[in-house]
Amino acid sequence: MLPRSASDLAPAGKTRPRKKPDELRFLHSWLQDPLRTGAVSPSGRALARMMASYVDPALPGPVIELGPGTGPVTAALVERGIAPERLVLIEYNPEFCKLLKQRFPGATVIRGDAYNMETTLQGLVEAPAIAVVSSLPLFTRPVPERRSLTEQAFRLCVPDAPFIQFTYAVVSPMPLDEIPLRAHRSRRVWRNIPPACVWVYRSPQMNG
C-alpha cells in the first residue's frame, strides 16, 4: 500500500500516532528559529499533493526537495510514484534530518543550506534532476538570494524542469519583475492551515 503521509512511513512495529508529534516537533523548531522554519505546523496533505502533482514521475532522474521538514511533501512525492531512491532532500534542521532518514530510508538526506545547493550537492547528484520542490520560507531572504536559488536549481536540472514552491502569500514569492521566470500559479488550497497556493517556475530560456 502506498504511504498516505509522512507519518505513515514510521518505522515498522510502531503504531500510527504521528500527526501530533510532528506538529509539536514543528512548533518546537519554529520557536527556536521562526524565520528559518517559516511555518508553525507541517503542510497538510492536500497542499503536499498539489506540490507533487507538478512532478512527472515518468521522467527519469532525481527529484531535489528543499526544506522537507518532517516530510509531508516527500510522502506525497512517493505517493505520486517517485521512488525514495530518486529523492535528494536538503534540510537545515538536524532533528528533521534524523526523522527523514528513518521515514525515507532509500532517500539521500543532506543536512545543509539549500541556498548553497550547487556546492552542497557536489558529487551527490549523478544525473540532472527532473524537478526541484521547495518549501523554503523565501520571503525571509533577500531577492538576490532567491534569484540565485532558482539559477542554481535550473543548472542542476534537465531543460524546462519546474521549480515548485508553495506560499501562504497572495503574491509570487519570486518577484517576477526582478527575477525573469516563466510562472504558473495553482488554485488556492483551502484545506491547509493557513491556505496556500503553489507556484511553478521555469527558466525563461527553454533550454535550461
Footprint of ligand SAM on this chain (CB under 6 A)?
36-39, 42-43, 66-69, 72-73, 90-93, 96, 113-115, 135-137
Q: How far is the CB of 207 from ligand SAM (least distance, A)?
A: 28
Q: How far is the CB of 1 from ligand SAM (least distance, A)?
A: 22
100 touches 74 (CB < 8 A): yes
Q: How far is the CB of 72 from ligand SAM (least distance, A)?
A: 5
Q: Which is nearer to ligand SAM, 13 or 94 (CB)?
A: 94
All three cell numbers of 170: 497572495
Q: Which is nearer to ligand SAM, 134 or 203 (CB)?
A: 134
Q: Which is nearer to ligand SAM, 186 or 208 (CB)?
A: 186
> Read out DSSP for 154-179?
HHTB-TT--EEEEESSSS-SS-TTTS
Q: How far is the CB of 18 from ligand SAM (least distance, A)?
A: 13
Buried-state track 89-124, b at ≥16 Cβ within 10 A, e below 16: bbbbbeebbebbeebbeebbbbbbebbebeebbeee
All three cell numbers of 128: 540532472
Q: Which is nearer to ligand SAM, 51 or 157 (CB)?
A: 51
206 touches 161 (CB < 8 A): no
